[in-house]
């Protein structure tokens, strides 16, 4: 969009030329001048007009007051000669050339003075600076006897009003040249505006703050993020020195040395920022500097995102709390407590015998927590020698010891950053490593072997043990301060013998999976019916893991059997002898918190005596009644073996006194 501004004769010249530019631009002829043009522009949306073509005082007036490019129609020597030739033709023959005057805006035309001397012309040249001055000049020239006045459109109009002959100074060629220049300027302006808009869009969408300063440190531009960081508006900040607004950013060194300073750490407005100071060079010459500012927390967020996206598959928790199968009161309570614990980041200490599902519980807590999208790292503290366990947990630097991996290695605590680390068999951890673990839990940072600088680490710790850590502390085998640091949220996983009500739920689940893996054709329900009485009479020292493994063995051996009736009780006992004999002496040091009873050598459980007593009754019984009778017989047998000592019987049976009392009362 080009505005061609001019009155009278210049406007007429525009109308002759505009049709030639229709294909290149939308040209509007504005028959106004001075303030009237500015007022008309103010009524339009910003950016509606790309350039203005004007002449004389009108053009200078607009150029000084508008941010738009204003292209002036320039008078050439050819214009002057042609105008003077027309003036001589318009001058009556009886009058001399001295009755012709040339009027120019602001300054005399140097070309005319040279032309006048070369051709010995007696033509005077005059100048004006504004409309009033032009009108006064025309009246004075009339009074001096001038007959023809050559000048711009305003002068020509005033001359004709004064009753003299006015000759318009400008030619079509001059106006065309101005139009061509205005189009090129507008085109370049559009390109520059597009570049600026693209850059502004980029800066506007940058989360980091960006500010550009000149050689004096004065702000030339800044984006909204930087304005927010500095607590100012962009309009107020531009033109002020950066040091007066944010002394902590200190751009002086960069402006003096023309060298970049990257990733500097600065405290400002109660936060820690990462600052980059970059010199701005134009063809090798320093013209200013660029400052970028980013909240250090954003780096932490990016780090978490990268860790979660590139997390190895073995660091993913597969199980959920619903995978803890069981409808018994004990398991219902475990799941409810685990869900409550999952809502916090406090350390959890899990007690339970081997095979009760301590890692499954830990994975379930992790997947129910806010850390579910981050790594789950598990390690058995009893599976590594002390030196190897230390390097696995805490990592090491390059060259920390002989055989260390080049470049060093991150430990499991670093690997579990923002996630959960599961320390199984924590009671087996050597004392020196307990000291290091205590520091990690207290300071939330890890010091690699051979390193000087600790690495911050945000990890939720879940520890598990089958030992009584209090006894370990009393024996000097476990640090007391570490015990209290771990024992914040405590959970106990019940042994399978303490929740035998869950056996009918667990058995078909494990059996179905085992039969499917073995490709067996036998019915799950039929095989389960034969198995449950035997399973219910066993004490399960290996807990759920032993149950799953035993059912796997039965499924593999019976893979070719079609009819479950072919699998007799004797055959099942042959496959799993532990189901038909009294289990071996049970190591109670691994259960019930490690309490022992030296007076007890065996558990006093199923055996031929118990079964014989039940079978000798001769009364018809359902499966449930038979299991209850067997259990009661087992309890009485154990009480007898313990000489009536109920505490000892509870130890042997793995049940509490209240459970023993309830079962005896029900019997």
Query: Between these two residues, 387 and 23, which has the higher pLDDT value?
Result: 23
Q: What is the pLDDT of residues 333-360, one digit of tens each?
A: 999 999 999 999 999 999 999 899 999 9
> Could you tell me which of 571, 588, 625, 579 has the C-alpha nearest to residue 606?
579
Average pLDDT in the 35-53 region?
89
Residue 423 pLDDT exceeds 90: yes
Minimum mean pLDDT range among 12-16, 193-197, 610-614? 610-614
Residue 394 pLDDT exceeds 90: no
Q: Which of 84-93, 383-392, 602-611 has the highest mean pLDDT?
A: 84-93
Average pLDDT in the 168-186 region?
90
Between CA 290 and CA 224 the distance in angstroms is 15
Q: What is the pLDDT of residues 603-612, one digit of tens each?
A: 333 333 344 4
> Could you tell me which of 168, 174, 176 has the C-alpha nearest to residue 17?
176
Q: What does the pLDDT read at residue 587?
A: 42
Query: Between these two residues, 504 and 568, which has the higher pLDDT value?
Result: 504
Minimum mean pLDDT range among 387-401, 422-436, 631-645? 631-645
Minimum mean pLDDT range among 24-33, 493-502, 518-527? 518-527
Using a pLDDT cut of 70, give the percent of the chain over it: 86
Minimum mean pLDDT range among 35-49, 151-165, 191-205, 573-587? 573-587
- Where helices occur in 268-415 by DSSP H, the ranges are 296-309, 329-342, 358-367, 386-394, 412-415
Between CA 592 and CA 648 the distance in angstroms is 12
Phi/psi for 458 (5° steps) reads -105, 100
CA 485 to chain centroid, in Å, comes to 32
Q: What does the pLDDT read at residue 346?
A: 93
Q: Is 420 exposed, middle or buried (0-12, 13-18, 19+ CB in 10 A)?
A: buried
Between CA 592 and CA 651 the distance in angstroms is 8
Q: What does the pLDDT read at residue 130?
A: 86
Q: What does the pLDDT read at residue 590?
A: 39
Quick one: pLDDT band at residue 583, thresholds 50, 70, 90?
very low
Q: Please work out, in degrees rounded to the nearest 5, the angle formed at the alpha carbon of residue 230 by the alpha carbons of 224 and 235.
A: 55
Q: Which of 8-12, 106-110, 314-318, 472-476 has the highest mean pLDDT?
A: 472-476
DSSP 93-136: TTS-GGGEEEEEESS--HHHHHHHHHHT---EEEEESSHHHHHH
- Where helices occur in 206-265 by DSSP H, the ranges are 224-230, 234-237, 242-245, 252-257
Q: What does the pLDDT read at residue 102?
A: 92
Q: What does the pLDDT read at residue 598?
A: 31
> Could you tell me which of 413, 375, 374, 411 has the C-alpha nearest to residue 392?
411
Q: What is the pLDDT of residues 121-139, one digit of tens each?
A: 888 999 998 889 999 999 9
Residue with tokens 């980041």: 345
CA 213 to chain centroid, in Å, comes to 29
Between CA 77 and CA 403 the distance in angstroms is 90
Q: What does the pLDDT read at residue 584?
A: 44
Minimum mean pLDDT range among 166-170, 309-313, 439-443? 309-313
Query: Between these two residues, 620 and 24, which has the higher pLDDT value?
Result: 24
Between CA 116 and CA 530 the distance in angstroms is 131
Q: What is the pLDDT of residues 276-300, one digit of tens each?
A: 999 988 888 888 898 988 876 666 5
Q: What is the pLDDT of residues 514-557, one digit of tens each?
A: 888 888 878 888 888 888 888 888 889 899 999 999 999 988 98
Between CA 154 and CA 645 the distance in angstroms is 127
Average pLDDT in the 176-197 region?
85
In sequence order, the 6+-apart residues with CB closer than 8 A to the CB of 98 are 122, 123, 124
Its sign, for the CA torsion 231, 236, 242, 244, is negative
Three-class secondary structure of residue 588 per DSSP = helix
Structure tokens at 659: 């459970």
Residue 268 pLDDT exceeds 90: no
Average pLDDT in the 566-575 region?
82
Its sign, for the CA torsion 589, 592, 593, 598, is negative
CB atoms under 10 Å from CB of 375, counted, come to 23
Q: What does the pLDDT read at residue 362?
A: 94
> Could you tell me which of 614, 664, 615 has the C-alpha nearest to residue 640?
664
Whether 450 contacts 495, CB under 8 Å = no
Q: What does the pLDDT read at residue 566?
A: 76
Helix (H) or strand (E) holding 288: strand 285-295
How much of the chain is helix, strand and coil, in % rounded to 5? 50, 15, 35
> Could you tell me which of 257, 105, 248, 254 has the C-alpha nearest to residue 169?
105
Minimum mean pLDDT range among 186-190, 433-437, 656-660? 656-660
Q: What does the pLDDT read at residue 578?
A: 84
CB atoms under 10 Å from CB of 431, counted, come to 12
CB atoms under 10 Å from CB of 492, counted, come to 17
CB atoms under 10 Å from CB of 602, counted, come to 14
Beta strands in 152-225 (DSSP E): 165-168, 209-214, 219-222
Q: What does the pLDDT read at residue 312?
A: 56
Between CA 189 and CA 184 the distance in angstroms is 8
Q: What does the pLDDT read at residue 612?
A: 47
Structure tokens at 665: 């009362």
Q: What does the pLDDT read at residue 457?
A: 86
Q: What is the pLDDT of residues 201-221, one digit of tens each?
A: 776 667 788 888 888 889 888
Residue 600 pLDDT exceeds 50: no
């Amino acid at each position: 969009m080009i505005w061609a501004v001019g009155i009278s004769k210049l406007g007429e010249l525009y109308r002759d030329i505009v049709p030639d530019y229709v294909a290149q631009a939308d040209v509007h002829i504005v028959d106004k001048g001075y303030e009237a043009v500015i007022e008309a522009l103010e009524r339009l949306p910003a950016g509606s007009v790309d350039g203005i073509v004007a002449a004389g005082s009108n053009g200078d007036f607009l150029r000084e007051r508008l941010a738009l490019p204003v292209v002036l129609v320039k008078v050439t020597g050819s214009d002057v000669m042609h105008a003077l030739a027309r003036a001589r033709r318009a001058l009556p023959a009886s009058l001399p050339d001295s009755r012709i005057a040339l009027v120019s805006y602001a300054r005399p035309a140097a070309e005319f003075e040279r032309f006048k001397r070369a051709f010995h012309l007696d033509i005077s040249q005059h100048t004006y600076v504004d409309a009033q001055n032009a009108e006064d000049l025309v009246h004075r020239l009339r009074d001096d006897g001038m007959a023809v006045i050559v000048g711009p459109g305003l002068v020509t109009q005033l001359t004709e009003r004064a009753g003299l002959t006015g000759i318009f100074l400008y030619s079509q060629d001059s106006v065309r040249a101005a139009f061509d220049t205005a189009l090129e300027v507008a085109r370049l302006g559009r390109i520059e505006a597009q570049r600026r808009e693209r850059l502004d869009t980029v800066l506007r969408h940058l989360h980091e703050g960006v500010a550009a300063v000149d050689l004096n440190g004065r702000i030339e531009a800044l984006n909204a993020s930087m304005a927010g960081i500095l607590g100012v508006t962009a309009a107020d900040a531009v033109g002020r020195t950066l040091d007066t607004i944010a002394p902590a950013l200190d751009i002086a060194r960069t402006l003096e040395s023309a060298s970049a300073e990257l990733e500097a750490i600065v405290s400002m407005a109660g936060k820690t920022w990462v600052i980059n100071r970059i010199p701005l060079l134009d063809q090798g010459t320093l013209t200013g500097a660029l400052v970028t500012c980013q909240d250090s927390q954003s780096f932490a967020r990016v780090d978490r995102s990268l860790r979660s996206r590139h997390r190895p598959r073995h660091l993913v928790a597969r199980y959920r709390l619903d995978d803890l199968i069981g409808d018994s009161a004990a398991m219902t309570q475990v799941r409810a407590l685990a869900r409550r614990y999952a809502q916090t980041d406090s350390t959890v200490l899990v007690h339970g015998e081997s095979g009760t599902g301590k890692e499954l519980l830990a994975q379930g807590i992790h997947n129910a927590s806010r850390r579910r999208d981050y790594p789950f790292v598990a390690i058995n503290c009893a599976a590594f020698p002390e030196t190897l366990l230390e390097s696995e947990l805490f990592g090491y630097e390059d060259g920390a010891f002989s055989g260390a991996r080049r470049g060093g290695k991150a430990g499991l605590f670093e690997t579990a950053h923002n996630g959960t680390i599961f320390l199984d068999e924590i009671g087996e951890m050597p004392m020196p490593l307990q000291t290091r673990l205590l520091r990690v839990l207290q300071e939330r940072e890890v010091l690699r072997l051979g390193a000087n600088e600790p690495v911050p680490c945000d990890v939720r710790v879940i520890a598990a043990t089958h030992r009584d850590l209090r006894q370990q502390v009393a024996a000097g085998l476990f640090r007391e301060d570490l015990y209290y640091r771990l024992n914040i949220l405590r959970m106990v996983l019940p042994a399978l013998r303490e929740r035998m009500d869950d056996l009918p739920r667990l058995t078909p689940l494990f059996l179905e999976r085992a039969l499917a893996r073995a490709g067996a054709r036998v019915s799950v329900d039929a095989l389960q019916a034969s198995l449950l009485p035997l399973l219910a009479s066993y004490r399960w020292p290996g807990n759920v893991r032993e149950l799953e493994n035993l059912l796997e063995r039965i499924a593999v051996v019976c893979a070719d059997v079609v009819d479950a009736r072919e699998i007799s009780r004797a055959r099942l006992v042959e496959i799993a002898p532990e189901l038909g004999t009294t289990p071996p002496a049970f190591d109670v040091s691994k259960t019930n918190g490690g309490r022992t009873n030296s007076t007890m050598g065996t558990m006093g459980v199923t055996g031929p005596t118990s079964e014989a007593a039940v079978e000798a009754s001769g009364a018809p019984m359902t499966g449930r009644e038979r299991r209850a009778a067997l259990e009661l017989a087992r309890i009485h047998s154990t009480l007898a073996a313990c000489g009536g000592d109920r505490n000892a019987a509870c130890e042997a049976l793995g049940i509490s006194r209240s459970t023993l009392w309830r079962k005896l009362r029900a019997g």
